[in-house]
Amino acid sequence: MNLIIDVGNSFVKLAVFKGGKLKYKERVKLEDVLVHVRALNKKHDSIKKAIIASVGRLKSVDVKAISKLFDVLVLDSKTKLPFKNKYKTPKTLGVDRIALVCGSINRFPHENALIIDAGTCITYDFITSNNAYLGGAISPGLGMRYKSLNNLTANLPLLESEVPNDIIGNSTNDSIHSGVVNGILKEIDGVINTYKIKYPDLTVILTGGDAKFLSKQLKSSIFANSNFLLEGLNYILQFNTNA
């Protein structure tokens, strides 16, 4: 069994996989990660290997402690990957984006795929059917857009995401919801359609914290999977184990 440790800025996702199947997952606070990892080690004594992907700040002392419990792979730009990385600055490519691309290779092998991660930022990552990663785009996410309207203006309120009633907002709140949500939906649909002009057989994957909220409103045909990044990390660990 494998332990997946996905470290964000404030929270950590922990997941246990048996082969390619997700058996357990939880989200914990960054400062509590070691306590929960040790508890999982006691509960699942068949866990032998672990992978750590950190876009946040996991202390080196915690990494060392986890490494005493399992055979640990720390994901970085030097990790052996199942694709050709044609990104011009490979050292700056986020480990979360690497994991999503690997999730696509695992789930949709030999397909042109666009992976859209709707989280704090919206990231777009494209991989060809012959496993060449070409890059993508980074855009402000749903929450970031709401916050920027509040932070960078004098009078606009901070709102929680809400499905707009109409394209025409007849109040300030409705206008914000229409601008933010419809703006993101038009952006995502537009990006997908642009890719499809060049790659008509495109497979589109939507994941991330806002995937559920957005997926039902998008016009484009997509594959939605909230666990896609975790699956990608597990695949990387399996790939390096078998290499």
Q: Residue 57's domain spans which residues?
A: 2-74
Q: Would you say residue 238 lies in a domain?
A: no
CATH number assigned to the domain comprising residue 50: 3.30.420.40
Q: Which residues are annotated as a binding site for K(+)?
A: 117
Task: Look at residue 64 and tell me if it is in a domain.
Answer: yes
Residues with Cβ within 8 Å of residue 149, at least 6 apart in sequence? 156, 158, 176, 180
- Same domain? 209 vs 140: yes
90 is a domain residue? yes
The model scores a pTM over 0.95: no
Residue 56 pLDDT > 80, yes or no?
Answer: no
CA distance between the termini of the chain: 17
Positions at the binding site: 6-13, 87, 94-97, 117, 120, 172
Q: Is 237 inside a domain boundary?
A: no
Do 115 and 53 belong together in one domain? no
- pLDDT category of residue 143 using cuts at 50, 70 and 90: very high
Per residue in 64-100, pLDDT tens?
999 999 999 999 989 999 999 999 999 999 999 999 9
- 62 assigned to active site: no
Residue 201 lies in a domain: yes
Number of domains in the chain: 2
Do the domain assignments include residue 58?
yes
User: Which residues make up each annotated binding site for substrate?
Assistant: 87, 94-97, 172
Residue 208 has pLDDT above 70, yes or no: yes
Q: Give the mean pLDDT of 218-243.
A: 91
Catalytic residue of the set 45, 71, 96, 189? 96
Residues 100 and 206 in one domain: yes
**How sure is the predictor about 243, in pLDDT bands with cuts at 50, 70 and 90?**
low
